């Protein structure tokens, strides 16, 4: 008998070789790595250039429009300009820091920032705490400087709404109006009432309009937007009729020459300054309107001084800067990486364009005189600092666009 055949064992398997690390990251991974710190885009370059030019124009025109008033008020022709330059130096690190940081960090700060701004808006209307100027209590003393809470509200309100609505994006795409309107409407009502108590009807309307932009971008139906505009018009009319100075200011807008010695004086003097400028202007620093003819020449009527000293060409140049800012801001919003970025970029762009339109419209007589400043150009500490912070956030959104789709090689 032969011995039974033995079954041969298979040779032991070799351990699997560890996968080699990729020599170079794929396109998607590389894009994500770059997006952590932001990447230069055409929109960011355009925004940066426009912001720099607006800053220079603002500082130059603030000095030109203010040195007479500064000498009359303080005895020093450079005092108002030095204050504006100081605020610009304080705002520059905020702009640069916000531009370099990932804008998503503001989602964690949206709630605390709103709470601080609401608290400040409450504190400012307390007699003895808020600083009263010409019957309006809108400022809080911070040592040698003043802080205006409404300027922070212009940024914190849309930021908080963008944060809340971005977290409900799926529900909003399904048409959930409750998710869209609450807590947005109660918040806007509270902010409007607080600002009206200062009293400041124009800024209250502006902040509510900025909040309305966020709602519209998030999907507010056009019919509801129209209803909101109608309600705002009714409330605004009531606010005008309730105060004598607002009624007279509105009458002066309808017929400035008939009120040239009272509430129409500023408008008429602005017209004269613009007319003196002609096409090319009388020359930088050579305008006569700032010699105490145009009231508030370095704040809400600085566009009249620009038109007088730089002419129609100079005024159109400033308008072109804001149009460029609007185009770059809209493109940054459309290309943002997430709903929060899209809503916030759209709100910041809308805020600056609406405020610039109100200011320029007031100077040209298209709107009643409101006291709203021209962003980045008019004198104003809190306004300049928070505008620079908002522009820094807008730059960050432009530097963090949506990740491009990666198409596999060999496929169309």
Cβ neighbour number for residue 18 with a 10 Å cutoff: 6
Would you state the pLDDT for residue 405? 46
Which residues have C-beta within 8 Å of that of residue 354, sequence separation ≥ 6? 206, 209, 210, 213
**Cα 229 from Cα 62, distance rounded (Å):** 34
Is this structure's pTM higher than 0.75?
Answer: yes
Span 361-398, pLDDT tens digits: 999 999 999 889 999 999 988 999 999 999 999 999 99
pLDDT at 270 over 70: yes
Strand-pairing partners, residue 141, are 146
Separation of alpha carbons 297 and 302, rounded Å:
5
Cα–Cα distance for residue pair 122/118, rounded to 1 Å: 6
Token readout for 278 is 């002609």
Cβ–Cβ < 8 Å for 366, 356: no
Please tell me the predicted confidence (pLDDT) of residue 332: 96
Confidence of residue 14 (pLDDT cuts 50, 70, 90): low
Statement: residue 25 has pLDDT above 50: no
Q: Please determine, for residue 51, whether its predicted confidence score (pLDDT) is greater than 70.
A: yes
pLDDT for the residue numbered 240: 87
**% residues pLDDT > 90 (the chain):** 74
pLDDT score of 76 more than 90? yes
Q: How many angstroms separate the CA atoms of 190 and 227, rounded?
A: 19
> What's the pLDDT score for residue 144?
72
Residue 245 pLDDT exceeds 90: no
Asked whether the predicted pLDDT for residue 34 surpasses 90, the reply is no
* Three-state secondary structure string covering the chain: CCCCCCCCCCCCCCCCCCCCCCCCCCHHHHHHHHHCCCCCCHHHHHHHHHHHHHHHHHHHHHHHHHHHHHHHHHCCCCHHHHHHHHHHHHHHHHHHHHHHCCCCHHHHHHHHHHHHHHHHHHHHCCCCCEEEECCEEEEEEECCEEECHHHHHHHHHHHHHHHHHHHCHHHHHCCCHHHHHCCHHHHHHHHHHHHHCCCCHHHHHHHHHHHHHHHHHCCCCHHHHHHHHHHHHHHHHHHHHHCHHHHHHHHHHHCHHHHCCCCCHHHHHHHHHHHHHCCCCCCCCCCCCCCCCCCCCCCCCHHHHHHHHHHHHHHHHHHHHHHHHHHHHHHHHHCECCHHHHHHHHHHHHHHHHHHHHHHHHHCCCCCCCCCCCCCCCCCHHHHHHHHHHHHHHHHHHHCECCCCCCCCCCC
**Residue 179 confidence (pLDDT) above 70:** yes
Average pLDDT over the chain reads: 88
Helices 105-124 and 184-196: crossing angle, nearest 10°? 40
**Using an 8 Å Cβ cutoff, are 256 and 367 in contact?**
no
pLDDT score of 370 = 86
Residue pLDDT, tens place only, 130-150: 887 766 778 888 777 788 999
- To which residue do tokens 């019919």 refer? 223
166 pLDDT above the threshold of 60: yes
Nearest in space to 381 (alpha carbons), one of 110, 62, 111, 121? 62
* Among 321, 387, 339, residue whose Cα is nearest residue 54: 321
Radius of gyration of the chain (CA): 27
- Whether the predicted pLDDT of 4 surpasses 60: no
Tell me what pLDDT residue 208 has.
Answer: 96
Instruction: Tell me the pLDDT tens digit for each residue of 320-354.
Output: 999 999 999 999 999 999 999 999 999 999 999 99
User: Is the Cβ–Cβ distance between 106 and 94 less than 8 Å?
Assistant: no
Of 121-125, 237-241, 342-346, give the range with the top mean pLDDT. Answer: 342-346
Whether the ω angle into residue 67 lies within 30 degrees of 0, i.e. cis, is no
pLDDT at 248: 92
Residue 407 has pLDDT above 50, yes or no: no
Cβ atoms < 10 Å from Cβ of 86 = 14
Which has the higher per-residue pLDDT, 39 or 36?
39
Instruction: Assign 36 a pLDDT band (cuts: 50, 70, 90).
Output: low
């Amino acid at each position: 008998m032969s011995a039974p055949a033995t079954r041969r064992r298979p040779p032991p398997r070799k351990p699997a070789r560890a996968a080699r690390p990729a020599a170079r990251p794929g396109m998607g991974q590389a894009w994500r790595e770059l997006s952590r710190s932001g990447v230069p885009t055409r929109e960011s370059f355009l925004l940066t250039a426009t912001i720099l030019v607006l800053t220079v124009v603002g500082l130059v025109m603030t000095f030109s429009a203010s040195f007479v008033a500064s000498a009359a008020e303080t005895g020093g022709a450079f005092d108002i300009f030095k204050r504006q330059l100081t605020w610009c130096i304080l705002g520059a690190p905020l702009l640069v820091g916000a531009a370099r940081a990932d804008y998503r960090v503001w989602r964690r700060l949206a709630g605390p920032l709103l709470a601080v701004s609401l608290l400040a808006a409450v504190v400012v209307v307390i007699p003895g705490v808020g600083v009263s100027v010409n019957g309006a209590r809108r400022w809080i003393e911070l040592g040698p400087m003043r802080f205006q809470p409404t300027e922070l509200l212009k940024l914190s309100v849309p930021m908080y709404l963008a944060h809340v609505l971005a977290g409900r994006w799926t529900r909003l795409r399904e048409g959930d109006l409750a998710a869209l309107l609450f807590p947005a409407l109660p918040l806007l009502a509270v902010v409007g009432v607080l600002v009206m108590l200062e009293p400041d009807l124009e800024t209250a309307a502006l902040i509510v309009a900025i909040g309305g932009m966020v709602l519209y971008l998030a999907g507010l139906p056009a019919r509801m937007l129209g209803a909101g505009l109608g309600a705002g018009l009714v409330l605004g009319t009531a606010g005008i009729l309730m105060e004598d100075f607002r009624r007279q200011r509105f009458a002066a807008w309808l017929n400035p020459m008939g009120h040239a010695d009272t509430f129409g004086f500023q408008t008429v003097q602005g017209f004269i300054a613009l007319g003196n400028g002609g096409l090319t202007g009388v020359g930088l620093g050579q305008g006569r309107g700032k010699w105490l003819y145009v009231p508030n020449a370095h704040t809400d009527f600085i566009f009249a001084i620009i038109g007088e000293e730089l002419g129609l060409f100079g005024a159109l140049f400033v308008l072109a800067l804001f149009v460029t800012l609007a185009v770059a801001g809209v493109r940054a919003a459309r290309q943002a990486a997430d709903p929060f970025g899209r809503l916030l970029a759209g709100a910041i762009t809308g805020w600056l364009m609406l405020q610039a339109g109100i200011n320029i419209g007031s100077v040209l007589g298209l709107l009643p005189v409101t006291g709203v400043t021209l962003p980045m150009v008019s004198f104003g500490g809190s306004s300049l600092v928070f505008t620079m912070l908002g522009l820094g956030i807008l730059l960050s959104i432009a530097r963090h666009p949506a990740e491009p789709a990666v198409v596999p090689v060999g496929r169309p």
